Structure 1
Amino acid sequence: MPLLDQLVEFVGNHWYLFLALAVIVGLLTHNLIVGGQGSVDPLQATEMMNHRDAVVIDVRPAADFAKGHIINALNIPMNGFKNQLATLTKYKGKPMVVSCRSGSQSSMACSQLRKEGYEEIYNLRGGLMAWESANLPLTRKKR
C-alpha cells in the first residue's frame, strides 16, 4: 500500500484529529499575524505596569488564576468575558495588558476590548508561560 493511500486512510479514520490540528494551526497562525499588533513581551508589560499604571487582566479560569497570577491582576475569565466588560469601564483610560496561559485566549479578549472602544490594549505575548520564563513573580493573593 503506497504511503499516500495510508495517509488518506488514516485521515479518514481519524478526521477529528485533523480537524483539531487545523483549528490549532489556524489559531497559532492568527496569533502570529494579529498577535504582533498591540502586543508586549513580559519586560515591556512590567515597565507599563510600573511607569504607566497599566491594568493587568487575566482571562484564565478562576481555578488557574488562584494557582498563581501577575500581582494585582484582575481575573475576568474568557468564559463570560463579554458579559463582564462593564467591570472594566473605570479603567477605560488606562493601558491594559491582557494575559492568559500562552497568549491565544488573551488575543481574542484584546479584540473584544478594542471592539468595545478600549484603545490602549496590549496582549501579553507568550502569556504567563513567557512571564515565568522571564523569571518574573507570580502571586496567589487576591487583589
Structure 2
Amino acid sequence: MDQIVEFVTNHYILSGLFAALLVALIYTTVASLFSPLKELNTHEATLLINREDAYILDIRPSAEFKKGHILGSKQIKPELVTKGDFSTLEKFKDKPIIVVCAMGMTSKRTASQMLKAGFTHAATLKGGINAWQGASLPITK
C-alpha cells in the first residue's frame, strides 16, 4: 500500500489520467446498461430479421449503399437523418427497426433520435455493415 501512495505522489499526472479513464470506462458501461437503445450483434440482428421481420434502415451515403448493403435494407436520405425527420417511416413505428451505418457509431445517434420520436423498437447493428461483412453474412449490390 505504501508503494501505491508513493507512486501516486511521484506521478500525480499519470495517476490522475488513470483515474479519469477509469471513471469514463465505468460511466460508459453503466450508461449502456441502462440505455433504452439496444445494440445488436450480427446473430441477434439475423434472428430479429428472420423471426420478427425487422425493417433494416441503412443510413450510409448512397455511394456506399450501392457498393453493398444488407439484403432487404432501405436507405434514408442523409439530410432527413440530420433533421431527425422520420415521417417516411411512420408506418414502421411499432415494428423492429435495425439502424445500420458503416461501423456502428453514427447509427447510435439516429436510433436515439428515433426512440425520442416515438419508435418503440429501434436498435443498432453493433459494428455496422463492417461487422456484417466480417461475419460473412450476405450483402447485395
TM surpasses 0.5: yes
Percent of residue pairs identical: 35
Q: TM-score, normalised by structure 1?
A: 0.71
Question: What's the counterpart of residue 85 of structure 1?
Answer: 86
> Do the aligned partners of 2:107 and 2:124 also contact (CA within 8 Å) in 1?
yes
- Per-residue displacement from partner, 1:41-82 (whole Å, max 9, x unpaired)? 011101100110100000100111011000110101444313
Q: Look up the SS of the partner of 2:69 in the other structure.
A: coil
Larger Rg over CA atoms? 2
RMSD over aligned CA atoms reads 2.5
- Contiguous gaps of at least 5 residues in structure 2: 1-23
Residue 120 of structure 1 deviates from its aligned partner by 0.7
Q: Relative to 1, partners in 2 of residues 1:120 and 1:110: Cα closer, same or farther, differing over 3 Å?
A: same
Rounded to whole Å, the distance in 2 between the matches of 1:106 and 1:33 is 17
Q: TM-score, normalised by structure 2?
A: 0.72
The number of equivalent residue pairs is 113
Structure 1 residues 86 and 30, CA, compared in 2 at 3 Å: closer, same or farther? Answer: farther
Partner amino acid, structure 2, of 1:88:
L
SS of the equivalent of 1:46 reads helix
Amino acid at match of 2:56: V
Which amino acid in the other structure matches residue 38 of structure 1? K
Query: Residue in 2 aligned with 1:133?
Result: 134
Unmatched 5+ stretches in structure 1: 1-25
Q: Which contiguous aligned blocks of 4+ residues in structure 1 show a shift greater than 2 angstroms?
A: 29-37, 77-80
Residue 64 of structure 1 is matched in structure 2 by 64
Amino acid at match of 1:96: I
